[in-house]
Amino acid sequence: MSLPVIPAPAHLTLSDNTFTLTSSSGVTAESPELTELAARFVADVQLDCGLTLTGNTGITLALESPQADDVPAAAGVRADGEPVDERHGLEITTEGIRIWGATPEAVYRGLTSLRQLISARLQDAAAVLPAARIVDGPRFAWRGLSLDVVRTFHGPDEVRRIIDMLSLYKLNVLHLHLTDDQGWRVEVPSRPLLTEVGATGAIGDRPGGYYTQAELAELVQYAADRYVTVVPEIDMPGHTSAVFKAYPSLGPDEIHSVDLGNGDSLQLNTLDPGRDETWTFVEEVLDAVIPQFPQSAYVHIGGDETWGMADEDHAAFVEKAAALVRARGKKVVGWQEIARASLDAEDVVQFWLDLDVDSMVQNPDLPTPPEDLLPILVEGLRKAKYDAPKALEQGTKLIVSPVTWLYFDRPHADASSDPDQEEARKHLGLEFYGAASIEHGVSWDPVDSIPGIDSADQVAGVEAAIWCESITTPEDLELMLLPRLPGAAEKAWSRPGTDWPTYAARLAQQSPTWRNRTWTWLHSTEVNWT
């Protein structure tokens, strides 16, 4: 038994009866705290499928215990640091629909499931919904997407579209990768050249850009209204070429780089932890950036790919940067390489490098990196296999973001029924990682498939990542995100085990909403789209 809902609910019972929702239906909130949710739901349904709910009966929202004793509390940590219970109930009878939960956020999750059902069942301005009872809650508390806005800058309108996608699939974190070699995307008033100079570029000749403080405030609030927390990443001590472009005095005397052959280059330079100027800069950045993300309990400090930096210097930098974040009342998250430093148990390590470097080097089907880059990559990847064990030994939890399953800059393996998308597939994604199918994206488990993880208690959450080396337009971005993003949500929310035929049937029925929302998605020939 299944309904066209993603992620799959924990408990579902169906009966033969139905309830018909029409434009004369509406929403009643039994608590004032739910009034805004009701209004947003009505607006979302209209955008999802064109149905305008004008009445005030048919759907009832209530704040009460969901009686979800057999749905375990979510494992992991929340990006907002709040102990919010998202467990909820949804019941459809011949008399109407009732959604309840202990918190407004829990009720919102139930409304999200109902939105999907309405879109899938709408015909002739009426949605005939099967009688059903759902009791549900997430497996993991942190469920997100890391969005690269540096290699290609994505403006506020496109980011809002991505937030809408996250919300529709119960994902609750947007991790904004705001700084990298190619650009700097966030204002620091005491360092105006970061945006005047450092933000001017992207990869190759792509235009740059940055978010003003007003734009970020609007994005952060837009996300918060949809129960998505925006987590900022300031990548350091590597990936800092944009910093050195803006403030050369912070950089080394001689800049070293490797040409990647795609219009971009790999910079082999880092901030120096032994210089006072470095820490003045880091403190100014933290003091400017942290207040712009008030809902986030975490600051992502990057810490990855510090090519050529001595291990002891890298550890010293991570430890001091982390201490500065904690001193400002925030918690620390970083890419897995930060596990090579001493961490606090409350820190979070984002695991991504699950690649077997030795088998990759021996694989003749994979493209060969530039000659100067190969030994650097091999050294970094060989160190990486020790990162997750080091993190767990220190008592830190892992955000699971493995390249194999959750890097959405992998090429699409599925063919598309749209000839234009077949042309796009030729240039989208990094060949280095190999192509991945939609089915592949749901054929794993965040605990069972990750070496070294023995229990969900070691997992902070699940987060996909989209990097934009090959992505140049909003349409490219959405084509790489959809239909992969619902699969990531399924892995983050639902209990273990996803049957592909059943999942593909649920996925197919998401397409009416995507069409109405004008989202671009891969028309995979492996899915019988509605």
Q: Indicate which residues carry an active-site annotation.
A: 305
Token output for 387: 């990162």
* Beta-sheet pairing, 126-136 with 122-123: antiparallel
* Closest alpha carbon to 124 in 47, 4, 16, 21: 21
Of 449, 454, 530, which is closest to residue 497 (Cα–Cα)?
449
Q: Which residue has the tokens 């050529």?
A: 308
% helix, strand, coil for the chain, step of 5: 35, 20, 45
**What b/e readout covers 41-60, taking b as 16+ CB neighbours within 10 angstroms?**
bbebbeebbebebeeeebbb
Count of C-beta atoms within a 10 Å radius of residue 374: 13
Strands 11-22 and 126-136: antiparallel
- Rounded to 10 degrees, the C-alpha dihedral 46/484/448/356 comes to -160
Which residues lie across from 29 on neighbouring strands?
A: 61
Residue 397 pairs with which residues in a beta bridge?
348
Number of other CB atoms surrounding residue 1 within 10 Å = 8
Please, what is the Cα angle at 430 between 429 and 434, to 5 degrees? 100
Going by C-beta distance under 8 Å and a sequence separation of 6 or more, which residues neighbour residue 275?
none
* b/e 95-134 (16+ beta carbons within 10 angstroms → b): eebbbbbbbbbbbbbbbbbbbbbbbbbbeeebbebebbbb
- Locate 350 and state its tokens: 């984002």
Asked if 163 and 478 touch (Cβ cutoff 8 Å), the reply is no
Query: What whole-number distance in Å separates Cα of residue 495 and Cα of residue 8?
Result: 8
User: Which of the 8 DSSP states describes residue 357?
Assistant: H
